[in-house]
Amino acid sequence: MTTRRELIDALRARYRSAAFGDRIRILDEFVALTGYHRKHAIRVLRQEFSNSKAARARNRLYDEAVRQALTLLWEAADRVCGKRLKALIPMLVDAMERHGHLDLDPVIKTKLLQVSAATIDRILAAARLHIDGQRQAP
């Protein structure tokens, strides 16, 4: 893989500064050497930077407070799957707030009510690893 990357770095500058006819020859040579599809080779040679995919900072919608509240709700619901927990969240939040077991910020409550079942499963994946697949006794 490093040889392809070195080849790309070497040919990229030549490809950009070459005239149209020269670009065709450079592209033909590059496709023959790498085995890339022609259109992919054009995109690779026209890229601005040679580094691999740069780490992009992500804006996390569900923070640690949401994870903790979701874990608490999951435990209260006897560790059900994300799809079933999604349906239970509105009822659980109301009941637990009424009985004083839960006190949520309105922003966190809104996020809990809009989280998808797949995201619930992703958020709770770490908590599931700690229990080794064993359910609590009723």
Distance CA 54, CA 74 (A): 36
C-alpha distances out from residue 13 to 42, 43, 47, 111, Å: 13, 14, 10, 48
Q: How many CB atoms lie within 10 A of CB 86?
A: 18
The percent of residues above 90 in pLDDT, for the chain, comes to 64
Find the helix packing angle between 64-76 and 106-114, rounded to 10°.
60
Per-residue DSSP letter, 79: S
Q: Which of 112, 82, 78, 107 is closest to 94 using CA atoms? A: 112
In this predicted model, what pLDDT tens digit does every residue of 22-80 receive, in sequence order? 999 999 999 998 899 999 999 999 987 645 556 677 788 899 999 999 999 999 999 99
Contact 126, 137 (CB under 8 A): no
21 φ, ψ to 5°? -65, -40
Q: For all residues of the chain together, what is the average pLDDT?
A: 87
- What are the extents of the domains in the chain? 2-46, 64-131
13 or 53: which leads in pLDDT = 13
The separation between CA 50 and the C-alpha centre of its own chain, rounded to angstroms, equals 23
- Residue type at 76 in one-letter notation: A
Reported pTM: 0.57
